[in-house]
Amino acid sequence: MISLLASQIRQYKRDTLLAPLCTALEVLMELLIPFITAAIIDEGIEAGNLPQVLRYGAIMLLFAFCSLGCGVLAGRFSARAAAGFACNLRDAVFCKVQSFSFSNIDKFSTAGLVTRMTTDVTNLQNAFMMLIRVAVRAPLMLVCSMVMCLFISVRLSVIFLVALVVLGCALALIMCRTTRIFDRVFRKY
């Protein structure tokens, strides 16, 4: 099923690859800003060195604008890739429906076919866009934050790691329970 859906990316592979790349650059720029803030405080404000404050402030602004630009580009690439994916998927579904025999067409209602061509494909489009942006951003932010925390303080990183494990276990528990509930509701309706 995944390979069938992935084949619908076709001419949008470039956008599909550029969206996570821009997202990764956005995350990196965002995570470097606290280090620049620390440098402003340590080397500029405490030392009373105004030129150093201005220099680091300009670097921080540059990083912030780079992060913003990468975020905008990631949004643009992911939207284009997702819209193209949905267009190709609708075309494939339409071609498949056209190849049905009359006995197969009688098994589906017109409303059901229209729903599959519109709502279902739109849901897949949104899921694909979330996958190439959020599913890349969240793990990258987590891993890079952990690395940055190790640079700042190993002792503090242990607390961060324990909190991460506790939150991960809680999330896994919630997902298991809600999946069971979803399955029951899905079977009922």
DSSP letter for each residue of 129-154: HHHHHHHHHHHHHHHHHHHHHHHH-H
* pLDDT at residue 27 in the model: 95
Cα–Cα distance between 93 and 112 in angstroms, integer?
Answer: 12
Rounded to two decimals, what is the model's pTM? Answer: 0.80
HSE-CB for 111 with a 13 A CA cutoff: 0
* pLDDT at residue 185 in the model: 81
Per-residue pLDDT of the chain (189 residues; tens, 9 = 90+): 778 777 888 899 999 999 999 999 999 999 999 999 999 999 888 888 899 999 999 999 999 999 999 999 999 999 999 999 999 999 988 888 888 887 777 788 778 788 878 888 999 999 999 999 888 998 999 899 889 888 888 888 899 899 989 999 999 999 999 988 888 887 776
* pLDDT at residue 189 in the model: 63
Superfamily of domain 2-152: ABC transporter type 1, transmembrane domain (1.20.1560.10)
Cα–Cα distance between 154 and 141 in angstroms, integer?
Answer: 18
HSE-CB for 46 with a 13 A CA cutoff: 7
* pLDDT at residue 77 in the model: 96
* pLDDT at residue 41 in the model: 92
